[in-house]
Amino acid sequence: MTTMLMKLINDYNEVAYAHHYIWGFEFKGTVYMAITDSTCLPFVCKLDRASRGAGMALRFCPTTDQKVALMAKAEPLCSVKYFAEMCDSCKYNKGETFEKMVTEYFGQEWVKDNVPFTKAGDIEVDGIAYQIKYQRATFCNEKSIANLKK
């Protein structure tokens, strides 16, 4: 684990509202959701180059081994085929579609919003705010974190 990865995770945690996560990932033909707290971040996130000169980005791009590890906290949500059909039939991207499906799974009505991750989670369940991330999601980048910490 690199120092830069830990710095970006720590900086993100410092400004983030929610410190619990619902991770979405595909594994063996099924879309799963795994629920964890922020201690999982160093094990499921990686550094990547951000676009437009924004430095490095923190991303959720789980490897097969990481998906296997997340399986201990995961439950199936739907088939990959059904998820693809849902994505194809709506105007939202995979992350938004996953967020909608998770919200509905918990019996709540999903509404597309642009509330910053510093102000609220994506969903609240039993009084706990969660950020919802689907595989290949970007959390933040160095430039955005620096601006938030000013």
User: DSSP assignment, residue 83?
Assistant: H
Phi, psi of 6 (to 5 degrees): -65, -35
**Strand 56-60, strand 137-141: pairing:** antiparallel
The residue count for the chain: 150
pTM of the predicted structure, to 2 decimals: 0.93
**Cα–Cα distance between 33 and 77 in angstroms, integer?**
6
pLDDT tens sequence for the chain (150 residues): 589 999 999 999 999 999 999 999 999 999 999 999 999 999 999 999 988 888 999 999 999 999 999 999 999 999 999 999 999 998 999 999 999 999 999 999 999 988 999 999 999 999 999 999 999 999 899 999 999 887
pLDDT at 1: 55
